[in-house]
Every structure is written in C-alpha cells, then in structure tokens.
Amino acid sequence: MSLLIHAISASPCDEPPRGLAGVPLVWVPAGELGLWASPSEGPLDRELVFDHHRIVEQLCARTACLPVRFGQRVEDEDVARERLAARAGELGATLRRIGGRQEIAITLLWQCSPVIEGRGHRVQASTPGRRFLETRGQAFADEDGRRAAAEALAERLVRELAVDQADVRHAICPAPDLALSSSLLAVPGAAEQAKEDAVRVTATLEGVRAVVSGPWPPYTFAETA
Amino acid sequence: MSLLELTDRLLNRGVVLTGEATISVAGVDLIYLGLNLVLTAVETMSEKQKTA
C-alpha cells in the first residue's frame, strides 16, 4: 500500500498520534533521519489536508520535525527510504535549524491604494492607441508603487519585530488586494509572544489591515533548495 | 483568513520529496483551490469594506 508522508524527524517518538483515518502511523527510518507516514490509497481530498495538518502538528509537539507538503505519496517503505536517503544531508541541516520552532503568519491587506510621490500619471491622450499605451503605463506605475510600498512595510516589520532575516519570508503583493504575506519563525516556547508582538506592530501600520495567524509547524521554512 | 493562510502553507510549502503531486477534488486542482479561496476571501472582504 502507498504511503502519504507527513513529517521528517531524527528519531521516532513515544506515543505518536494516530495517522489518517485513525490508523497507526508508519515510521520509516533511513540513516540518521526517518519519516512519518500513513497508509493511503485513493483520491486526496480536503478532509485529508486538515487531517495531515493535525498529524504534523501533533508530531511537532512531540519531537523536532520537518513538515512535509500535503500530497507527497510514495509507493512503499523502500521508495520512501530511498527518497529520504538521497537528500539526508540538506534535510538534516534544515531539521537542525528549524526543528522545534513554530511559524507565525502575517497577512496585510490593502485598505486603500498607496500613493507614491512621483509615480503614475493621468491618462490624457485623445487617440485610442496612445490612450491604450498610457493606460498600460499607468497600470505598470501603479503596480510598481504598490510593490515599493509593500516592500517598505516588509522592511518595517523586520525592523520593529527585531527578527533575523533568516527567520522571515515575505511574499510581496501575492494577489491584487494583498500587500504582504509574511512568515516568521519563532523560537521554541516563544510563539505566542511573537504573535502578540506581531499584532502590536501591525496595528500601527497605516493603509493596511493586518491578520496575524498561527502558530503552526514551520511549513514555509522547511522548504529546501 | 487564518484558515486560508494555513491552507496555502499545507498545499504549497513544506518539504517536497516526491515531486509535485497533482491533487484534485472533483476535477479542481487543490493546489489552485487554495489560492482561489484566498482570492475569493479577499474579494469578499473588500466588498464588505466598501459597503461598510
């Protein structure tokens, strides 16, 4: 039976959580690492996404883990072992860096379009062709303005929250109404304080509405090159 | 929004061991479903702000 992979850790833990649909989790050791997985056949659906998250969260609460992206399925334990062994070095290094830590998410939504001095212009052309080009030019200038404002917000967050650059990831303007989607890596035991700090700092930002979420396992920081 | 941010992370981030999986729910790629949910929520929120 194929296996849906949940997380990677250095050692098994006592009393692991139940796997998907309540079945026991499978531990597949491979050298200095191992992975947790559930037997899984058939289509992957929305319920399984959140069941996967429950398992990852409970594993991370018991031992230092790297969360695996939902939907990673292998044919059997031998293939799982092979895949893990092939990347043991980089995964082990990432696990040592982020194991035991948690992620806080900060989302900033535009409340109004930022006004950037010296950017953009009014479309004044009278002919269709020129009007088209000027409209396009204005759209690009607006986009640049939003991006510059979002980058300034990201820099301000990093500065005021006093986080290490290695412990933060930003997605600048990931959607038209979103200024920023950021992830912060909190040290063990300090995630709630980090969240409170993020709420306090984002409340002072103008022109955006902030939503602070988490903590949850460090999905964003588990990605390797 | 919190749920959507979490969904985005579950579907688009984390260790990739086996390459990108094609995950479908009723013919809709779940990878894109997460993003669409985010966009829909943002649009709804914007509409509410405009009418408030």
- Nearest chain B CA: its distance from A17 CA (Å): 18
* CA atoms within 13 Å, Cβ hemisphere of B46: 16
ipTM: 0.79
Torsions phi, psi for A121 (to 5 deg): -160, 165
Q: How far is CA A187 from the centre of its chain?
A: 16
Query: Residues near A10 by Cβ (< 8 Å), separated by ≥ 6?
Result: A32, A33, A34, A63, A64, A92, A95, A99
- Give residue B27's pLDDT: 47
Pair type for strands B28-29 and A3-9: unpaired
| DSSP structure class, residue A119 | -
Best probe of the A interface among B8, B15, B50, by most A CBs < 10 A, is: B15
Cβ contact, residue pair B43, A44, below 8 Å: no
pLDDT tens digits, B9-43: 888 889 988 865 555 544 445 545 555 555 555 55
List the Cα angle A35/A39/A40 in 5-degree steps: 115
Question: Which residues make up the CATH 3.30.70 domain(s) of chain A?
Answer: 102-222
pLDDT tens digits, A133-166: 877 777 777 778 889 999 999 999 999 999 998 9
Confidence of residue A177 (pLDDT cuts 50, 70, 90): confident
pLDDT tens digits, A96-110: 999 999 999 999 999
Which position has the higher pLDDT, B8 or A119?
B8
CATH 3.30.70 fits A102-222, yes or no: yes
The domain segmentation of chain B, as residue ranges, is 2-51
Quickly list DSSP for A168-182: EEEEEEEETTEEEEE
- Give residue B44's pLDDT: 52
pLDDT at A196 over 60: yes
Cis peptide before A215 (omega within 30 of 0): yes
Q: What share of chain B is helix, strand, coil (3-state, %, to 5)?
A: 65, 10, 25
- Give residue B6's pLDDT: 86
List of chain A residues whose C-beta atoms are within 8 Å of the C-beta of residue B43: 177
Confidence of residue A39 (pLDDT cuts 50, 70, 90): very high
Reference A185, options A194, A172, A173, A193; nearest CA is A194
Cβ contact, residue pair B5, A181, below 8 Å: yes
| DSSP structure class, residue A187 | P
Q: Tell me the percentage of chain A whose pLDDT exceeds 70.
A: 94
Place of tokens 């992957």: A44
List of chain A residues whose C-beta atoms are within 8 Å of the C-beta of residue B23: 44, 70-71
Distance CA B49, CA B31 (A): 28
Burial B22-37 (b: 16+ CB within 10 A, else e): ebeeeeeebbebbbee
Sign of CA dihedral B21, B23, B27, B33: negative
Mean pLDDT of chain A: 89
**How many residues appear in chain A?**
225
